[in-house]
């Protein structure tokens, strides 16, 4: 089969790590007789440098006309100390999510046995953790009205959610739970927020269509505690945009391996696949960044394109690299392999 893949490598280590994902996909293409046509387009700080726009229209067009988007990372230190700069890399990412209708961000969080000792949490706590976080990605306070009074004294952000926005991601999350351990936890702040109460009501209603799934609720402050105290209690977590941002980043470090975590953003049209980690400016150009999250993003992409055998093959290759210690310095400080060496190993193994 033939697939058109938009390659949005972005900033910092983005290009280095997506290069390795491309190697892996090329190897898959050879073995399983597919064609992946990669087309590059700018996004983020690099797009601002080149065009003045963190998300040029051509990039959006390319993505819309592709079968999937492989994303690297965005962000550059020169914007970090000035979050009120008029033009910022993050705007590109937010606009991309909105333009492509990527309302559902999926983040698997898993304790890899081989890396469990690297977790900041004790082994007994983290063991067996296997969570799938469903974060709403195109609504809530991220996309509400923003306002600064003329005298600069009062700022406001609006947060809003509709039953429709809640329902479409809730159905996806319930279906995921049916394919897993059949438990769904809604994280909200229904004791304070009107939007959270609408989430709770809507999700409770939808739960009736999935009576094999056990639904429970956690206030977000409690969820932030439970994620550390007892992460293995969770199966699928469903939550709104801002809470998802916080809880999924918190969850991403408990496994001890943020360099291994991938995510998928799906919705109305094409899906987008990216590592959890950022653009890691300190490592840029040094051929030392861990490419496994990007490679696992490629696996998520394959699964989304219904190429399950192929996705399994990539995941197996990643496990092999962990087993043999053919990994970068973040995981393997004693005998680090370079970014490209790890990519070569995965491609060869495939």
Ligand X SMILES: CC(C)[C@H](C(=O)O)[C@@H](O)C(=O)O
Question: Least separation, in Å, of the C-beta of 167 and its own copies?
Answer: 11
Tell me the C-alpha to C-alpha distance, in Å, between residue 12 and each of 46, 75, 78, 89, 289: 9, 7, 12, 12, 10
Nearer to ligand X, 192 or 229 (CB): 192
Question: Is there binding between residue 93 and ligand X (CB under 6 A)?
Answer: yes
DSSP string, 238-304: EE-HHHHHHHHHHHHHHTS-GGG-EEEEESSS-EEEEESS---GGGTTSS-S--HHHHHHHHHHHHH
List 187's β-bridge partners, or say none.
Answer: 218, 239
Question: Is there binding between residue 283 and its own copies (CB under 8 A)?
Answer: no
11 is in an annotated binding site: no
249 carries an active-site annotation: yes
* Interacting partner of 35 out of ligand X, its own copies, none (Cβ under 5 to 8 A depending on kind): none
Picking from 269, 251, 270, 271, the residue whose alpha carbon sits closest to that of residue 261 is: 251
**Coil, helix or strand at residue 66:** coil
Question: Least separation, in Å, of the C-beta of 217 and its own copies?
Answer: 8
221 carries an active-site annotation: yes
23 carries an active-site annotation: no
Residues 186-205 that bind ligand X (CB under 6 A): 191-192
67 carries an active-site annotation: no
* Interacting partner of 122 out of its own copies, ligand X, none (Cβ under 5 to 8 A depending on kind): its own copies
Size of the site for its own copies (CB under 8 A): 62
Picking from 330, 13, 23, the residue whose alpha carbon sits closest to that of residue 322 is: 330
Q: Which stretch binds ligand X (CB under 6 A): 27-35, 90-98, 160-168, 281-289?
A: 90-98
Question: What distance lies between CA 81 and its chain's CA centroid?
Answer: 24
> From CA 144, how far away is CA 161, in angstroms rounded?
9
Residues 69-98 that bind its own copies (CB under 8 A): 81, 83-84, 88, 90, 94
Question: Is there binding between residue 50 and its own copies (CB under 8 A)?
Answer: no
151 carries an active-site annotation: no
* Interacting partner of 156 out of its own copies, ligand X, none (Cβ under 5 to 8 A depending on kind): its own copies
> From CA 50, how far away is CA 73, in angstroms rounded?
17
107 is in an annotated binding site: yes
Contacts of residue 292, defined as CB under 8 A and 6 or more positions apart, other chains included, come to: 259, 260, 318, 321, 327, 342
> From CA 79, how far away is CA 72, in angstroms rounded?
18
Question: Is there binding between residue 207 and its own copies (CB under 8 A)?
Answer: no
* Interface residue list for its own copies (CB under 8 A): 81, 83-84, 88, 90, 94, 120-122, 125, 141-142, 144, 146-148, 152-164, 189-198, 200-201, 217, 220-222, 224-225, 227-229, 242-243, 245-250, 252-254, 258
* Interface residue list for ligand X (CB under 6 A): 90, 93-94, 191-192, 221, 245
């Amino acid at each position: 089969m033939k697939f058109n893949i938009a390659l949005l490598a972005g900033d910092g280590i983005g290009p280095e790590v997506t290069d390795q994902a491309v190697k892996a996909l090329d190897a898959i293409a050879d073995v399983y007789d597919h064609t992946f046509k990669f087309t590059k387009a700018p996004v983020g700080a690099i797009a601002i440098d080149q065009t003045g726009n963190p998300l040029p229209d051509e990039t959006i067009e390319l993505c819309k006309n592709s079968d999937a988007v492989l994303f690297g990372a965005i962000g550059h230190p020169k914007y970090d100390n000035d979050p009120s700069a008029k033009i910022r890399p993050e705007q590109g990412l937010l606009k991309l999510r909105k333009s492509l209708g990527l309302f559902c961000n999926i983040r698997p969080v898993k304790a890899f046995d081989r890396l469990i000792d690297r977790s900041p949490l004790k082994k007994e706590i983290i063991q067996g953790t296997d969570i799938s976080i469903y974060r709403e990605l195109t609504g809530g306070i991220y996309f509400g009205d923003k306002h600064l009074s003329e005298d600069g004294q009062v700022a406001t952000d609006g947060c809003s959610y509709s039953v429709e926005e809640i329902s479409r991601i809730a159905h996806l999350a319930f279906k995921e739970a049916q394919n897993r351990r059949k438990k769904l936890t809604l994280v909200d702040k229904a004791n304070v927020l009107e939007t959270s109460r609408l989430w709770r009501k809507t999700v409770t209603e939808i739960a009736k269509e999935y009576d094999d799934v056990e639904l429970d609720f956690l206030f977000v402050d409690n969820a932030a505690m439970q994620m550390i105290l007892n992460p293995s209690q969770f199966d699928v977590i469903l939550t709104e945009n801002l809470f998802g941002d916080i809880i999924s980043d918190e969850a991403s470090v408990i496994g001890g391996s943020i360099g291994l975590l991938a995510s998928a953003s799906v919705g109305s049209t094409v899906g987008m696949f990216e590592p959890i980690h950022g653009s890691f400016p300190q490592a840029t150009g040094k051929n030392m960044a861990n490419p496994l999250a990007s490679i696992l993003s490629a696996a998520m992409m394959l699964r989304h394109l219904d190429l399950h055998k192929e996705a399994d093959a990539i995941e197996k290759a990643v496990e092999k690299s962990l087993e043999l210690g053919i990994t970068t310095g973040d995981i393997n400080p004693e005998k680090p392999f370079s970014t490209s060496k790890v990519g070569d190993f995965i491609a060869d193994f495939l």
